[in-house]
């Protein structure tokens, strides 16, 4: 009987393809695991660590301030002026806004809430800052710069 022969390199190609598929699968799994477990902290957004359960227990508009929480204030400044925010644990308070010449404060949220925001405008431009408490420290969750319709007609 004749022996079934394969080309010498074909078996090696199959092993390389199988090894590549296995490596790709492991790399994707590690990436998904890393992003899902680290997620918000990589982007510096959202509650971190033991803050998540505390926020989940709160309902919108009924944030309870821990009386023993450390108070930390930070002022976020830019071309618009400044937005001062205080964190008491995971609860944020919008303390005040100040504007530079030509800018106005459209609105700001005093809190208490899991995040507070302020909107500044100048002519056809607006800047919105959203601040949350990251491990008890005020941090930017989002900054949006928008062009508004020109009403000068």
116 & 93 share domain: yes
Judge whether 3 lies within some domain. no
pLDDT value of residue 3 = 55
pLDDT value of residue 120 = 94
Mean pLDDT of the residues in the chain: 79
Can you tell me whether residue 34 is helix, strand or coil?
Answer: helix
64 & 13 share domain: no
pLDDT value of residue 55 = 45
Per the structure, the count of domains in the chain is: 2
- The 10 Å CB-count burial string (b at 16+, else e) for 37-66 is eeeeeeeebbbbeebeebbeeeeeeebeee
β pairing state of 125-134 and 115-122: antiparallel
Residue 72 pLDDT exceeds 70: yes
Residue 116 pLDDT exceeds 90: yes
Judge whether 77 lies within some domain. yes
Confidence of residue 54 (pLDDT cuts 50, 70, 90): very low
61 & 36 share domain: no
Average the pLDDT over 33-37 and give the result: 69
Judge whether 153 lies within some domain. no
Judge whether 152 lies within some domain. no
88 & 19 share domain: no
pLDDT value of residue 142 = 87
Lowest pLDDT segment from 38-52, 69-83, 104-118: 38-52
Average the pLDDT over 117-126 and give the result: 92
Judge whether 24 lies within some domain. yes
Evaluate if pTM is beyond 0.75: no
Judge whether 26 lies within some domain. yes
Average the pLDDT over 48-63 and give the result: 48
138 & 71 share domain: yes
For 91, the domain range is: 51-147
68 & 137 share domain: yes
38 & 57 share domain: no
Lowest pLDDT segment from 50-59, 86-95, 143-152: 50-59
What percent of the chain is modeled with pLDDT above 70?
72
Distance CA 85, CA 116 (A): 8
């Amino acid at each position: 009987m004749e022996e079934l022969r394969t080309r010498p390199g074909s078996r090696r190609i199959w092993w390389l393809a199988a090894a590549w598929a296995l490596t790709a699968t492991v790399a994707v799994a590690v990436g998904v695991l890393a992003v899902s477990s680290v997620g918000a902290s990589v982007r510096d957004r959202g509650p971190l660590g033991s803050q998540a359960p505390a926020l989940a227990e709160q309902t919108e508009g009924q944030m309870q301030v821990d009386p023993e929480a450390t108070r930390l204030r930070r002022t976020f400044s830019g071309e618009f002026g400044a937005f001062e925010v205080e964190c008491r644990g995971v609860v944020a308070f919008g303390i005040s806004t100040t504007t530079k010449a030509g800018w106005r404060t459209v609105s700001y949220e005093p809190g208490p809430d899991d995040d507070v925001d302020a909107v500044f405008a100048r002519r056809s431009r607006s800047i919105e800052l959203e601040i949350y408490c990251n491990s008890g420290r005020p941090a930017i969750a989002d900054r949006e710069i928008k062009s508004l319709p020109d009403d000068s007609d």
